[in-house]
Structure formats: C-alpha cells, structure tokens
C-alpha cells in the first residue's frame, strides 16, 4: 500500500443488517437480511479507548502508557423509517391482526367530528363511509359503545346520553367529536408494535457500503466496513413537533468482539 495514496470521506454509507439468530415470531432465519438502509443522513463509526500511565520523577511526567478498553460505537441517522426498522429498533413484537393463539387483540382507537344544526337530533354519524370535510372518516355501522365530547360547550358523555349534547341556543350549531374502538380481525388492515419491559433490540452482523474519493485521481472508490457482531442499543427517541425540520430516526450500535477476537474490518476495493 502506497502511503501517499490519500482519500477523502464525505458520502454517507448504505447499511444492511444480517440476523445472527432466528426470530421465529418475526419469521426470520439465521443469516437473513433484516434491514437495508439506503436513506441515511449520517453514518458514524467512533472508536474510543481508555489509557493509564506510569508517572514519576521531577514534575511527575508520564513515562509509559498502556491502552485498554477499546470501544467502537456506530451511529446511524435515518431520514425515514420502515415499520420493520421500528420493530427492530424498539425490540417490539409485531401484530397484523388480533391473535387468537395468544389472546392479544389489536385495537384501533378512532375519532371523528360532525356538525349538527341547533335542534337536530344528535346521533353517531353512521353513513356511507366517505370522507367529510376532507378529514373525518365515518364508519358505515355504529360501534357497540362510543364516547363523545361537545366541542361547543365542553360537555361529554357516552352513547347513553348523547341527547345532552343537543342543548344549543337557537341558531347555533353543535360540533360533536365521537370516540370509539375497533378490533382488527383482517390481516394487514393495521400493524401494531407492542413494547414490553423484557424484550430488547438484538445483535446483528452489520455491513456498510460507502465511497471514498482519491486525492490523486478525484475518482470515487468503493469502501466498506464490516462488523460481525453489533448490539443495537435500546435508547430511542421519537420526536413529533409542529415546527422545524422533519424528524430523523437515530440508532446506536455497540460493537462486540466476534468469535475470531476481532471487532471490525475496513475494506477498500
């Protein structure tokens, strides 16, 4: 290797995760590619270590230094996120409908608003299921139970006392928002991630593909990092805000020693 062949690194890496063990609940076998991330904004590999020195003599200078405790952390920042990425990131269990074998029910909490004229009988807004006012989707059949709140005067109740919402002055309208729950029985109608205190993100083989640019030729060359054993850490932040840039999704990996005693390989090809 020519010591004067120098390169610049700027482009983000594309990263994929390979399962080190089977996940029967998720239908994943050992060796399967579980994630492929080609929308990253940042991919950082940080290597740290601790050290201790022998010191002595006038001024107590450092004489000999020992390094130990090498640690490598990989930080990935994704511009968008898939539901499978969310499942892996949070160590969650995924359901696509109510699971009779486990007794777990997938429940969607819905709400919709409708405007009534003063004196009009106020009932749950059953209809043809079309969108109203561009945002409110009403079911075709009323649920067994629902709750409501009068957006005009703040009164609230259940389907048993819905008539109480009709107390509006003559000429005024009544805005009522309804709340109800629906059980998901059809596959892929909804997807639910359940986060429990005893399940955490797993350990994976991680490969990142990037480009490095030659100082001599100005051409990009292929560059790759390979981590045979990386534990995904559990810290996750979901940011929902009205202003500023769109949310990004961060994941941190801690590199472990593999079966051969190594931590990571860097490859230029």
Residue 1 falls inside a structural domain: no
Residue 100 falls inside a structural domain: no
DSSP state of 23: B
Task: Identify the CA nearest to 202 among candidates 18, 77, 46, 48.
Answer: 18
Considering the domain architecture, whether residues 11 and 86 belong to the same structural domain is answered as: yes
Domain region containing 129: 107-183
Considering the domain architecture, whether residues 75 and 135 belong to the same structural domain is answered as: no
Considering the domain architecture, whether residues 168 and 210 belong to the same structural domain is answered as: no
The predicted pLDDT at position 174 comes to 82
Measured CA to CA, the distance from residue 174 to residue 117 in angstroms comes to: 6
pLDDT tens per residue across span 14-69: 999 999 999 887 888 999 999 999 999 999 999 999 999 999 999 999 999 999 99
Element (H, E) at 176: strand 173-183
Residue 98 falls inside a structural domain: no
User: Which residue(s) pair with 53 in the sheet?
Assistant: 65
pLDDT tens per residue across span 158-167: 988 887 766 6
pLDDT category of residue 264 using cuts at 50, 70 and 90: very high
The predicted pLDDT at position 123 comes to 84
| CB-CB neighbours of 13 under 10 Å | 22
Residue 260 falls inside a structural domain: yes
Residue 201 falls inside a structural domain: yes
As for how many domains the chain has, the answer is 2
Residue 170 falls inside a structural domain: yes
Residue 102 falls inside a structural domain: no
pLDDT category of residue 8 using cuts at 50, 70 and 90: very high
pLDDT tens per residue across span 130-141: 655 655 567 778
């Amino acid at each position: 290797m020519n010591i004067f062949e120098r390169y610049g690194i700027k482009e983000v890496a594309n990263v994929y995760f390979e399962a080190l063990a089977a996940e029967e609940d998720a239908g994943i076998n050992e060796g399967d590619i579980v994630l492929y991330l080609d929308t990253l904004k940042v991919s950082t590999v940080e290597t740290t270590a601790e050290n201790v020195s022998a010191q002595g003599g006038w001024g107590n200078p450092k004489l000999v230094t020992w390094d130990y405790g090498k640690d490598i952390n990989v930080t990935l920042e994704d511009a968008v996120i898939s539901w499978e990425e969310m499942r892996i990131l949070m160590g969650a269990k995924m359901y696509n409908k109510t699971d009779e074998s486990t007794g777990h029910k997938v429940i969607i909490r819905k709400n919709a608003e409708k405007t009534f004229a003063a004196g009009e009988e106020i009932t749950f807004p059953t209809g043809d299921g079309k969108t109203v006012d561009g945002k409110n989707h009403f079911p075709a059949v009323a649920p067994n139970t629902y709750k409501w709140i009068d957006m005009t005067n703040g009164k609230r109740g259940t389907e048993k006392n819905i008539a109480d919402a009709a107390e509006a002055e003559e000429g005024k309208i009544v805005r009522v928002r309804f709340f109800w729950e629906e059980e998901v029985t059809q596959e892929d109608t909804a997807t639910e991630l359940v986060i429990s205190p005893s399940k955490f993100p797993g350990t994976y083989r991680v490969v990142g593909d990037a480009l490095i640019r030659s100082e001599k030729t100005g051409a990009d060359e292929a560059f790759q990092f390979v981590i045979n054993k990386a534990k995904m850490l559990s810290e996750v932040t979901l940011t929902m805000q009205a202003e500023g840039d769109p949310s990004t999704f961060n994941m941190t990996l801690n590199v472990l020693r593999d079966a051969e005693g190594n931590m990571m390989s860097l490859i230029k090809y």
